[in-house]
Structure 1
Amino acid sequence: MSTLALDPSVLLGRLYISFWIPAALLTVALLLKLPTIIRLWRDPLLRAVGGVLLFACTVFVFCVPSMIHRMNVLTGVPNFSAPWCYSLITANSGAGLLFIVTWRDGRGGRAGRSARIRRATRWIVSGYTLVVVALWVLFLLADVPVERVRDLDTYYARTPFMREEILLYLLAHTVACALSSRVIWDWVRDRGLDAWLRWGLRLLGGGYALSLLYDAAKVTAVVARWFGRDPDWLSTNLAPPVASLSAILLAAGFILPHAGQALHDRCRVRLAYHRLGPLYRVLRSATGSGPRFSLRATAELRLIRRETYIRDALLPLARHVDMDLTERAYAAAIAVGHPASRARAVSAAVGVLDAIENGGGAVRGDADPTVLLRDIAAISSALRHPKDLATVRALSAATPAPPSITVPE
């Protein structure tokens, strides 16, 4: 059986799926950003993000055929949902363009925004507000008594005033998508972008490109109706899934730069915490105590506590480090092929282990704690390789240090 012969209920079921998936994704994106938007409401960029996500969610909620029918029944006006949905689409178009322009400015805060961006903002807000008002005026002038849930654009394509309304919302949507797409693809070529932002922009660019395909399908179907042709499938069967896929890409484009950077930062903190493990365990075994562990503590707080504990433990221990030994260890590490930075960390690790094994030993006035406190991550990394340390310690114990060798800082 061909696709065109499918039962209408099957097609509606597919349409529900295609509309509710982007609605869910956009809602998730809005909920993720909502606390920040509320907390930093004065930031024009965050307001623009909130506007885009809110209008995009409402578009995919109210443009579902079942909701269209309910709105018409609730108001008692046939096709009342037409100007309502057109207004939401137009508002979303303007909010998206406003977001892209504000984001591209990149400086945030009202005082930091350029005069050109403030002027563009006023034009976008006033222009799209006038379009929304015009949509309702045209609807009041049009005669559209027959409810059309899925094919209103083509059914009333030649109806006076409704014809102009359909073209107006499609034009406003096309202009916003074209301008947004142009700004995004120009921006993607900026070499200074981080990877998360670049991929987010690519997803946004793909979403706006599909939005232009949606507009092309709708306009083609409407114009064809003027000339007596009937390619309604472009408007009723092609345009909705294209719009859904576009919204999915746009939602992903909004989420990725923020969620990706947050995930990257979290992984970086956890990796830094993990890298300090060997040095932390060595010092804890020496001191017999360590920082309290709390499941409620954030990863950042646990990292700060571990760094603080290590520095607090190293500070008194540094006075007992044998600097002659570390100089010999540095020379030995260089001799076995370690680069200078690695040799410095290995020699410091040898000095720490020697001070701990000797129970502190004598206080050495020439011991400088600065290097130890500064290179705790590198020292901890060196402790992960006990065989390398053993080799360097054996060589440093057998070889006296030349008078001129010092451990570089």
Structure 2
Amino acid sequence: MSAGDAFLCAATGLFVATLIKVRALRKNPGDPLLRAVCAMLFVAALLFVAAAPEHIAVMNDVIGVPNAAAPVVYCIMTALAGIIIVLLIHWRGNEDERRTRRQTRLCLTAYAAVMVAIPVLFLLGDAPVERLRDLDTYYANTPYIREMIVLYLAAHSVAAATMTFLCWSWSRQVPGILRAGLLTIAAGATGTFAYDVLKYTAVVARWLGEDLDWLSSRAAFAVAGVSAFLVAAGFLIPPVGEGAVSSWKALRRFRQLRPLWLEIRPEIPPTSPRSMPWWRSVFLRLTQRERDIYDVVHRLGPYFDAATGRAVYAAALAEHRERSRAREEADAAVIAAAVIAKGSAGPPFGPGGRWVVTSLEDPQDLVRMSHALARSPRVRAVRGSAAFPGPARA
């Protein structure tokens, strides 16, 4: 695979990530953080397209000026550096919105000035020989071109150092997935700074009459791809990771509620929507399962036997010494008995003989009640219509 193909693959991935974030931005167009993320991903993708040597040659041919692609690539790198700093400013947040806006304007103004100066210096200089990989060192002693190279490297270094410092310091204050994302960005920013150091070393070597061009044309080239990938990944880890964690928690709860849902399934009205297939969103499937449970349990209210509930509660309390756990077992047993009673067309209980199920109030109570339906011997006894064992003696 050529460098151009590798860069195009990276650009494709970044463009796809951009489209994903643009969809989120359409739902919340006023979010400055989302705007900055979209801009960062798009400009990073654009940089991968423009920076490959094969694509630099194409741009030079299209523009008709040798090395004209160099200021274009440098401007894109500078824009990306400025956008990432703005993104970090908005990501971290600040209670003083005016200060945040002032910092954003200052950063954008400074980097816009650099982006204007880069093509001006290129036009003032003279670079007639096309160099696709080693322009920085080949023209390191050429007036104006030399200043252009130092200027873009300086702007890039300031952004890399700022990113590294902000992300390392902020990562100490936050936990979990956000910290992982910040540490990944910091690692990428450190690599970006290493890229600049390699470039500086090769350029200074030229000033001193030495030849260390390989540091700029090969070593820095390899470091740039890795660091750019790490920075982009660091910004994507928190939203993707949080989404994955949320999906896992929803799937876990969906499975935990299965025993309770299977228990009440015979009483789900045939007019209710059919269960969603596995490929549908787990959040939608969980919502449907919880809705079925709540609807059926409320309809079963007249069949909740207070005597069954009291007996199971007393036995569970005598065994576990935990009131909440005993209550959940009692509620589970009452629901199991109610499904049997209603299914056999038994008469409902009067208001004085009804048990009140309270385990619907807390989401975790619902899960524990489902667990009791699957494992409690007292619930199995009620479900099997066997003689219910009384409270265990101490």
TM > 0.5 fold call: yes
CA deviation map 1:156-179 (0-9, x unaligned): 001000000000000000001111
Q: Are 2:318 and 2:392, in contact at CA under 8 Å, matched by a contact in 1?
A: no
Cα 1:365–1:39 shift into 2, 3 Å: closer
RMSD: 2.6
Q: Higher mean Cα deviation, 330-339 or 172-181?
A: 330-339
Amino acid at match of 2:36: A
Residue in 2 that maps onto 1:68: 56
Residue in 2 that maps onto 1:117: 100
Indicate whether 1:274 and 2:264 are aligned.
Answer: no
SS in 2 for 1:274: helix
Residue in 2 that maps onto 1:215: 196
Amino acid at match of 2:41: L
Residue in 1 that maps onto 2:157: 174
1:40 offset after TM fit, Å? Answer: 2.5
Q: Find 1:334's aligned residue among 292, 296, 317.
A: 317
Q: Are 2:316 and 2:391, in contact at CA under 8 Å, matched by a contact in 1?
A: no
CA distance in 2: counterparts of 1:49 and 1:260, whole angstroms: 16
Q: Are 1:332 and 1:395, in contact at CA under 8 Å, matched by a contact in 2?
A: no
Residue in 1 that maps onto 2:168: 185
Q: Find 2:371's aligned residue among 378, 381, 387.
A: 381
CA deviation map 1:316-341 (0-9, x unaligned): 32232222322221221133337433
1:113 offset after TM fit, Å? Answer: 5.9
Q: Find 1:390's aligned residue among 367, 380, 392.
A: 380
1:68 offset after TM fit, Å? Answer: 0.6
SS in 2 for 1:293: coil
Residue in 1 that maps onto 2:43: 55
CA distance in 2: counterparts of 1:97 and 1:361, whole angstroms: 70
**What pairs with 1:243-322 in structure 2 (closer than 5 Å)?**
243-286=224-267, 289=270, 291-295=273-277, 298-322=281-305
TM-score (norm 2): 0.89
Amino acid at match of 2:49: V
Q: Are 1:355 and 1:361, in contact at CA under 8 Å, matched by a contact in 2?
A: no
Residue in 2 that maps onto 1:86: 74
Identity in percent: 38
Q: Higher mean Cα deviation, 314-323 or 139-148?
A: 314-323
Indicate whether 1:349 and 2:339 are aligned.
Answer: no
Q: Higher mean Cα deviation, 181-190 or 261-270?
A: 261-270
SS in 1 for 2:173: coil
Indicate whether 1:136 and 2:122 are aligned.
Answer: no
CA distance in 2: counterparts of 1:400 and 1:209, whole angstroms: 66
Cα 1:83–1:259 shift into 2, 3 Å: same
Amino acid at match of 2:351: G
SS in 1 for 2:325: helix
TM-score (norm 1): 0.86
1:302 offset after TM fit, Å? Answer: 2.7
CA distance in 1: counterparts of 2:292 and 2:248, whole angstroms: 21
Q: Higher mean Cα deviation, 372-381 or 284-293?
A: 284-293
Q: Find 1:399's aligned residue among 373, 390, 393.
A: 390
Residue in 1 that maps onto 2:15: 27
Q: Are 1:196 and 1:256, in contact at CA under 8 Å, matched by a contact in 2?
A: yes
Cα 1:174–1:386 shift into 2, 3 Å: same
Q: Are 1:280 and 1:310, in contact at CA under 8 Å, matched by a contact in 2?
A: yes
Residue in 2 that maps onto 1:164: 147
CA deviation map 1:341-400 (0-9, x unaligned): 332211111112222333354424243545043243322221121546337999993437
CA distance in 2: counterparts of 1:159 and 1:298, whole angstroms: 60
1:256 offset after TM fit, Å? Answer: 1.4
Indicate whether 1:95 and 2:83 are aligned.
Answer: yes
1:39 offset after TM fit, Å? Answer: 3.5
CA distance in 2: counterparts of 1:40 and 1:355, whole angstroms: 47
Q: Higher mean Cα deviation, 180-189 or 311-320?
A: 311-320
CA distance in 2: counterparts of 1:369 and 1:301, whole angstroms: 29
Q: Higher mean Cα deviation, 315-324 or 343-352?
A: 315-324
Cα 1:401–1:315 shift into 2, 3 Å: farther
Cα 1:308–1:131 shift into 2, 3 Å: same
Q: Find 1:146's aligned residue among 129, 134, 138.
A: 129
Indicate whether 1:205 and 2:195 are aligned.
Answer: no
Q: Higher mean Cα deviation, 35-44 or 49-58?
A: 35-44
Indicate whether 1:363 and 2:349 are aligned.
Answer: yes
CA distance in 2: counterparts of 1:335 and 1:400, whole angstroms: 6
SS in 2 for 1:265: helix
1:141 offset after TM fit, Å? Answer: 0.4
**Unpaired segments of 5 or more residues in structure 1?**
1-12, 107-111, 403-409
1:263 offset after TM fit, Å? Answer: 1.8
Equivalent pairs counted in the alignment come to 383
1:265 offset after TM fit, Å? Answer: 1.7
Amino acid at match of 2:154: L
Cα 1:400–1:164 shift into 2, 3 Å: closer
1:225 offset after TM fit, Å? Answer: 0.6
SS in 2 for 1:371: coil
